[in-house]
Amino acid sequence: MAQDTVERQKRNMDLFSEPEKKLHVLTKFLAGQDLKFKDFPEKGKIVIKKVSPDGNKILISADPLSDLQVNEKITFFKLLARYIQLECKVLQAKGNNEYILSVERIGIANKDRETPRLPVPPGHVWITNILTSKATIEANMFIIPTSVKVNFSDYEIKLKNTCDFIKISIFKSDDPEKFQIVKKTQKILLIENTQDLHSYNSTPTPDFINFAEDVDSDIPAAMRDFKDHKIISELIVPVIYIDLEERAIPIGYIHMQSKTENFDLMKAMEIKTLTFEMVDRIRNSNTITITDRFPVQDISTGGLKVKINNPDLNSNLPRLTGFNFDIFFKMQSPMSVYGTIRSVTKDLDGSLILGVHLAGNSSRPGEKKRFLENIELLKKNM
């Protein structure tokens, strides 16, 4: 049974409860029609057998597995030229899977569906090869994923002989101000010469932080502190993780100080390039491909509804705006796509029902055409 549904993109609907309007819709469009359960797809469907003269009640027959209970509130829907939904309450169970419901409200979408949904016969369409992450990597991490710990440690060891002081760490809430600014701006802080005023109030490119403007206007105090510690140059480069959704997440930094050489733009770019390598390794070690098959329940040229029953995906996918996967039509080779998640329904058995908008297709030539041809073939076989 479905537990709850989160619609990420709300439908624009006209909602009404006036008896005469309900009677018109019920008798003209829905009488004798089968409707699906909006939040309980596993309950099957119902058929409206009779409509009361005042339009407030309906007699339905339901699939045996629906198991409707008196006083239960439930929503049904039908996809015609427009989406129609009925918000109902079970008044009476009459036996033989027949029930009397009160129709409390009807909603009709403001515009026609751009692409009609087609029900998919079992085993005809599925998705697989879903890319997901082993661990969630965020800007503010209380628990550091092992992939990040190992990566930072490996590169710190690799760089330890390149300068007098090297530290690679995640950003923390109690970091000094200059580290907070590096995180916030995602820019590099470079002080080529700690005893030269010009190094504090100028930057080589706009991608660098101006110390005097952005960090601390008390430059003499900063210069004294560096002099006391015999530091002649400092460099802080953010480590910016790019997740599967292409979001830039500042997760840490490389902090370098030298007592013998002056860091310059070339050194900063060298370390920045190294952070790209670090991030690639973190992402590769943190990304997994789920090869299970997940059945598509309905599909259109613009989207699909799929049932997911994998523990990792059930945990990870609701946190994402979209994901990469392959679509398989029976007896066909796969098509790689990117889909944005429009709705998430959670079942009590732990499964997810995802409404997915197909936002991007593979760059392989002809795949979009092949996808549309498969939709047309499915339509003809209905």
Grade residue 142 by pLDDT with cuts at 50, 70 and 90: low
Q: Which domains does the chain have, with CATH numbers?
A: 2-113 (2.30.110.10), 125-129+291-380 (2.40.10.220), 146-287 (3.30.450.40)
Nearest to 325 by CA among 376, 360, 298: 360
Tell me the residue type at 191: I
Look up residue 53 and give its DSSP letter.
T
The fraction of the chain above a pLDDT of 90, given in percent, is: 58
pLDDT exceeds 70 at position 148: yes
pLDDT of residue 301: 87
Return d(Cα 32, Cα 49) in angstroms, integer: 6
Task: Provide the pLDDT for residue 10.
Answer: 58
Task: State the average pLDDT over residues 229-242.
Answer: 96
Burial class (CB in 10 A: 0-12, 13-18, 19+), 281: middle
Helix (H) or strand (E) holding 288: strand 287-290
Q: Average pLDDT in the 240-254 region? A: 87
**Using one digit for the tens of pLDDT, what is the confidence trace for 182-211?**
999 999 999 999 999 999 999 999 999 999
pLDDT (0 to 100) of residue 1: 44
The predicted pLDDT at position 114 comes to 56
Structure confidence by residue, pLDDT tens digits, 251-287:
999 999 999 999 999 999 999 999 999 999 998 888 8
Does the reported pTM lie above 0.75?
A: no
Burial of 238-254, coded b for 16+ CB within 10 Å and e otherwise, reads: bbbbebbeeeebbbbbb
The DSSP annotation for 353-370 comes to EEEEEEEEE-SSTTHHHH
Convert the pLDDT of each residue in 285-295 to its tens digit: 888 899 999 99
Tens digits of residue pLDDT in 61-110: 999 888 899 999 999 988 787 889 999 999 999 999 999 999 999 999 87
SS3 352: strand
pLDDT tops 60 at residue 323: yes
Strands (E), 117-213: 118-119, 125-128, 130-133, 165-170, 189-191
The lowest-confidence range among 34-38, 226-230, 262-266 is 34-38
| pLDDT at residue 167 is higher than 50 | yes
Region 347-366: what's the mean pLDDT?
A: 77
- Is pLDDT larger for residue 212 or for residue 118? 212
